Structure 1
Amino acid sequence: MAENLRLEVVTPEKTVVSDDAQIVMAPGVLGEFGVLVNHTPFLTSLMPGALHYKDTGEKEHLLFVSDGFAEVLPDRITVLVESAERKEDIDLQRAEAARERAEKRLESGEDVDFVRAKAALTRAIQRIRVAGA
């Protein structure tokens, strides 16, 4: 019986994480959820937020993940997202600029795709939170 989970975080461009983990915490659309080895299988949607996991050496890792999906199996969790960044790779100035642009778009009210602007604001805020954690 496996003692650890295999964690894969994949975007359309690359595999961001491929590691063994003791526990994985992810931002589900119904709230944050945790996965340990031998978890009951399920498939769920993710919202932008922090994904954190503890590797087999007890080191904690933190990433920003955009919306996407997670497949949980007893010995692995596969996260498929549009984008993902490790905490140390997030450009805080770029994230702040994205937040400001999204806020201005929402405030202008002129010919704005509110759903898209709100999604951009949510992503920027979550990236800032992960970078500052």
Structure 2
Amino acid sequence: MSFLSKARFVEQNTPPDSAVRPQVTQIERIAERLALGLCIGLTHGRKQRAGEDEDIEMAIQGVRAAGSTLRYHVKVTFISREAFQHAQALTGWHVWDDAGMVLEARYVDDMVHVPASETYFGDWTLFVPTPEIWS
């Protein structure tokens, strides 16, 4: 049973006048957001590695997990084939594992490189998106 299914089960079996009702509702909202995946936010982007920060930003949706190894690359795993393919087209990142839906974002010097747009990003973060991200 998924986290979202469990949250719905608890919500359906919690009396409306229960003191824990607000917490159950909050957990269900979080579970719904997580079911859509995490986002990777790339910030402090620029077109030239040695150039000035052009304040370019990018968000990649449908992420299951991401991790960095020795500032050489970031492996990004996706929640669905659709999210994986969309991110690969958007970024041009190397396919690390097609069956596992994992892309590899490589660092150039100390910046994450996005070959599809020839952009370099100084920072990245993994976050739970708010509903506005999908609107």
TM-score per shorter chain, which class? under 0.3
Over alpha carbons, which structure has the higher Rg?
2
Relative to the length of structure 2, the TM-score reads 0.25
Structure ranking higher in strand proportion: 1
